[in-house]
Amino acid sequence: MGGVKSTARRILFASILSMVLSACLFRVTPPMVKIGLVAPFEGLYRAIGYDALFAVRLALRERNQAGGVAGYRVDLVALDDSAEPQQAQEQARELALDPQVMGVIGHLRDETTLAAAPVYHEQGLPLIALGAPSLVLDGNDQTTVFRLDADQSHTALSLLDYARSDLRVKRLALLGFRDDVMDNLLEAVREFGDMEIRTYPSARALLDGVARDARDAILYAGADQSGAQFIDSLRETGSRSVLLGDQGLDTPIFVAWAGREADGVVYASSNVLVDDPEFIAQYRGLAATDPGPQAALAYDAAGLLLRAIEESIRRQGLPTRRGVLESLRRGEIYVGLTGDVRFDQNGQRVNTPVYLYRIESGRYPGVVARKYSHSYFSYHHSCGHPHTL
């Protein structure tokens, strides 16, 4: 009889222990939601990919340690596109198939973001785009793509103002810009009235004509590798024209490939090394290195998605892609590392900061020469001059 009671007690104890453990397990396993990051983690551009990766990881770690997003744990799905457009499309499709992915950050390169953006739009998956100055946001209330950094018009007009006000350029060449950007530049020059400008259909045409038609400076829209080849060829002609490049030159590849000819080149970008001791210390603790130029924008992109997911849960009771999109479209201000962030109806960040960097002593990133802030395509609504900070 005693053995039967002992056995019964053991069974009862085991049942209670099982229920307790189950309850504990339930409490420590909250529901999960995901954020995607697509960037080059292999190949030439892996450094900028990892720069962003650790920043996004840091943002998610901080939020999860604080209790998650409205009771949900947030996980990161990081995929490599190796800076290849086709691979970027494939990775975008893979993320779109995962119903727990509520938004994506990517792709840090112009050509890969351009290739992948239609996939996100088709699938209704929010994309916060980084490193895509050529991406045209056609502007409607159904946009799924939101750009944190500057459009090519922003960077080009900033460079033009710098050429005129700081470098006192009188004879300027334009090369490689989109037609609409070229039109904006030509209109601005007509308003200035004190600068002569010439456009060239190709780098070859400019190089062939530089001896008989010297230019004080060249506004250049092109990628880092072709830019390095161009500045080398330009210097071989004997030209000392200042090269003013858009965000395509904002990579360590340009500086490495151009060598000593990179010194003196000025490029425009929204990437910035922020002076925030706490962020730097936390990033360093996670990555065992200091944050690079891409880190701050990637951190802010993660923060924007986290807030949008939280708003979706609070408004709808659960996270949905539609809810995240609605939150991003509302245009409410988010206070980030890179300043106040909100998007206009086109999905473009309002008052996008643009930094002009001058390369010195072969080092990347360059030294900040000037900072601008623009409302989206508002250049000609402010008497022909961008707002300078």
Pick 78 or 132 by higher pLDDT. Answer: 78
Secondary structure of residue 216 in the 3-state scheme: coil
Across the range 92-100, mean pLDDT stands at 98
The rounded distance, in Å, linking the Cα atoms of 214 and 208 is: 11
Spell out the residues 6+ positions from residue 155 whose beta carbon is closer than 8 angstroms to its own: 133, 246, 247, 268, 269, 354
| 132 in the same domain as 51 | yes
pLDDT in the model for residue 183: 93
> What is the pTM for the complete model shown?
0.88
| 144 in the same domain as 195 | no
| 134 in the same domain as 77 | yes
pLDDT in the model for residue 382: 40
Across the range 8-23, mean pLDDT stands at 50
Which of these, 132, 139, 145, 209, lies nearest to 178 by C-alpha position?
Answer: 132
Which of these, 196, 194, 160, lies nearest to 177 by C-alpha position?
Answer: 160
Which of these, 383, 362, 293, 231, lies nearest to 47 by C-alpha position?
Answer: 293
Secondary structure of residue 153 in the 3-state scheme: helix
Structural domain count of the chain: 2
Across the range 142-152, mean pLDDT stands at 90
Instruction: State the chain's mean pLDDT as an integer.
Output: 89
Residue 156 reports pLDDT greater than 60: yes
Q: How many C-beta atoms lie closer than 10 Å to residue 254's C-beta?
A: 24
| 248 in the same domain as 170 | yes
Instruction: Please indicate, yes or no, if residue 18 is contained in any of the structural domains.
Output: no
Q: What is the pLDDT of residues 184-213, one digit of tens each?
A: 999 999 888 889 999 999 999 999 998 788
- CATH code, domain with 111: 3.40.50.2300
Across the range 83-104, mean pLDDT stands at 98
| 265 in the same domain as 159 | yes
Structure tokens at 30: 């909250």
Instruction: Please indicate, yes or no, if residue 368 is contained in any of the structural domains.
Output: yes
pLDDT in the model for residue 141: 56
Instruction: Please indicate, yes or no, if residue 8 is contained in any of the structural domains.
Output: no
pLDDT in the model for residue 210: 86
Which of these, 71, 76, 78, lies nearest to 60 by C-alpha position?
Answer: 76
pLDDT in the model for residue 354: 96
